Amino acid sequence: MQDIIASSAAARPQLPKAPTGIDGLDEITEGGLPLGRPTLVCGSAGCGKTLMGVEFLVRGILNHDEPGVLMAFEETADELAANVTSLGFDLKALQAAGKLKLDHVHVDRSEIEETGEYDLEGLFIRLGYAIDSIGAKRVVFDTIEALFSGFPNQAVLRSEIRRLFRWLKDKGVTTIITAERGEGSLTRQGLEEYVSDCVILLDNRVIDQITTRRLRIVKYRGSTHGTNEYPYLITEDGISVVPVTSLKLAHEVSDEIVSSGVPALDDMFGRRGFFQGSSVLITGTAGTAKTTLAAAFAAAICRQGKRCLFFAFEESPRQLVRNMRSVGLDLEPYQQQGLLYIESSRPTLNGLEKHLVTLHKLITEQKPAAVVIDPISNLITVGNIAEVRSMLTRLIDFLKVHNVTALFTSLISGRNVQQEMTEEGVSSLVDTWLSVRDLEGIGERNRGISILKSRGMSHSNQVREFIVTDNGICLLDVVVGPTGIVTGASRLTQQLQEETLALAARQELERKDREIERKRRVLEATITNLRTEFESVEEELRQINQEELLRQQTRTTNRQQIAASNGATSATSPPHA
């Protein structure tokens, strides 16, 4: 039944939409702005309303070959062209190609005299000519407040604004109309939001000296859409909107396994490594070799000829390379081959959203197989826990969609009773969770590693002691003492005791082997003597038998000779009378 409902929902006709081409906006609007209808973009000064309109036109021309008209009431064509040149938008070239028409309408209250019934018919004629001259499919008005400020008869103007929206719909052009935000309402006049088919609210707020721009879809007639507030940035490539979460968890998964870079650690997993495209979290207190484990993973990726992005929030690239070289991990050749890219900066350099956009941009450009962020706990300095969790959720979803294996490290406080809980609260989001911690014994501190979870595969439940050597990380064999697993000096003592016992057992075994060999030789000698004695008796009996046989033959011969002699005597004697 659910399949029938789902299939019928998928088969329903969808509202035609015009993709904006703005990074992230088409995702939360589920396809773009309503095709052939007006959309209101409102917000306070500095939110990027004009830029959104310009990018909507430029992306439409470049990506969809849809000419556009920009009717500006505040900035001239030259000013607009100059303002967006730094973003790579060449408006003059688009004008020369006949794809874009910039029309600056100057409205000055002091230059207007009302001599009769006022309307916007002149504006319609001017706009209609611009649309028809280039076959425009997209139109931007920036900003509509200029019309309200220029004419005093508000009742007539409101009526004309309604007529303008209807005229745009009848014209069939997809339109963005920018408006300034009012006090307690979306717009100053409180009218435009009601006659628009889609309303996008832009906001610019400062919290704890950190500026964040946010976007919200207030309404969208005839279509579902994302309803949250979405942070967005104005970057050198234009506006970038990043959804708070993935709208759907429908990404593909891989059965390919990638190594952790530590063979003994791979052996602790049922599939000998991590799934490609999964997310891995390493938590631990300071000095537990989290960065070394992360570097070993990055080196393992590069050894396979794949790219890896390493975001370091605590060390510079040179410092990281030097430190890892001391433990047998030479990352410099991978850097020179272009397989390893290390991006180092303090988290306070940018806000969370800027960091996220930087990650998106580098991942899109470099197309890595793996990403390492060391550590994510430093992001707490530029946002609260909820914001950091939100940012990391979006990042994890983005990496999963692109089948990029992610490894995060996180510093946890040693004073925290629940040392396995991360402050960012992302441990439930990741697929694999490794815990490294100090194992304090009698007068010493050792390092231990364990697997807290690994989705989709079996894994060891042991806490393995490991050491950082000149040849990298080395997991030590598990040694169980009378009270459980022992580490450090106790482990060495236990190993010596076990080796002593093993040596004694081996010596006892060798002694028994020698005793057996000796008995075997004695037995073999006895058998030899008995065989010799037997052969002597056998020879003697054989001699007796031969002598007896000879005697019998002699007696037989004698008897025959006697019998023959008696026969001859009878033949020569005379017969009796």
Please indicate, yes or no, whether residues 328 and 444 belong to a single structural domain of this protein. yes
Quote the tokens at residue 249: 């968890």
Q: 310 and 378: one domain? A: yes
Mean pLDDT of 210-222: 85
Same domain, 284 and 199: no
Check which CATH number belongs to the domain holding 356 and give it: 3.40.50.300
What pLDDT shows up at residue 220?
92
On whether both 469 and 485 belong to a single domain, the answer is no
Residues 196 and 280 in one domain: no
Range in 9-23, 111-125, 212-226, 279-293 with the lowest mean pLDDT: 111-125
Domain-embedded: residue 11: no
The answer to whether 437 touches 285, Cβ cutoff 8 Å, is yes
Residues 314 and 221 occupy one common structural domain = no
pLDDT at residue 536 in the model: 93
Residue 10 has pLDDT above 70, yes or no: no
Residue 573 has pLDDT above 70, yes or no: no
* Predicted local distance difference test score (pLDDT) of residue 371: 94
- Position 539 confidence tier, pLDDT thresholds 50, 70, 90: very high
Instruction: Pick the last residue of a domain from 181, 208, 241.
Output: 241
Write out the residue range of the structural domain in which residue 488 sits. Answer: 478-524
Phi, psi of 109 (to 5 degrees): -60, -35
In a domain, 342, yes or no: yes
Q: Tell whether 172 and 307 lie within a shared domain.
A: no
Is 90 exceeded by the pLDDT of residue 420?
Answer: no
**Average pLDDT over the chain, rounded to an integer:** 83
For residues 362 and 448, state if they share a domain: yes
What does each C-alpha distance from 42 to 80, 205, 441, 465, 574 come to in angstroms? Answer: 19, 15, 63, 59, 175
Q: Beta 230-235 vs 238-241: how paired, if at all?
A: antiparallel
More confident residue, 220 or 157: 220
Q: Is 348 within a domain?
A: yes
Average pLDDT over residues 401-416: 82
pLDDT above 60 for 206 = yes
Q: Do residues 368 and 404 lie in contact, with contact meaning Cβ atoms separated by under 8 Å? A: yes
Cα 197 versus chain centre, distance: 38
Count how many domains the chain has: 3
Task: Give the C-alpha distances (Å, rounded to integers) separating 191 from 149, 155, 167, 183, 201.
Answer: 15, 11, 16, 13, 15
Contact 415, 463 (CB under 8 A): no
Write out pLDDT tens, residues 87-110: 888 888 999 998 998 888 876 655
Percentage of the chain beyond pLDDT 90 is 36
pLDDT in the model for residue 528: 94
The C-alpha atoms of residue 142 and residue 50 are separated, in whole angstroms, by 6
Q: Is residue 427 predicted with pLDDT exceeding 90?
A: no
Domain end residue (candidates: 455, 477, 499) = 477
Residues paired with 407 in a beta bridge: 280, 372
Whether residue 288 sits in one domain with residue 233 = no
**Is residue 515 predicted with pLDDT exceeding 90?**
yes
User: pLDDT by residue (tens digit) across 301-329?
Assistant: 999 999 999 999 888 999 999 999 999 99
Residues contacting 157, CB < 8 A, separation 6+ = 118, 147, 148, 151
Q: Is residue 455 located within the same domain as residue 501?
A: no
The answer on pLDDT for 383 being more than 60 is yes
Residue 538 lies in a domain: no
What is residue 6's predicted lDDT score, i.e. its pLDDT? 47
Q: Are residues 233 and 271 in the same domain?
A: no
- The reply to whether 547 falls in a domain is no
Identify the DSSP state of 170. Answer: H
Q: How confident is the model at residue 451 (pLDDT cuts 50, 70, 90)?
A: very high
Residue 568 maps to a domain: no
The CA distances from residue 211 to 43, 203, 215, 354, in Å, are 15, 10, 14, 11
Residue 489: inside a domain, yes or no?
yes
pLDDT grade, residue 8 (50/70/90)? low
Q: Is there a single domain that holds both residue 294 and residue 372?
A: yes
Which pLDDT tens digit goes with each residue over 54-74? Answer: 999 999 999 999 999 998 888
- In this predicted structure, what is the pLDDT of residue 39? 92
Which of 524, 539, 560 corresponds to the end of one domain? 524
Q: Would residue 318 count as lying in a domain?
A: yes
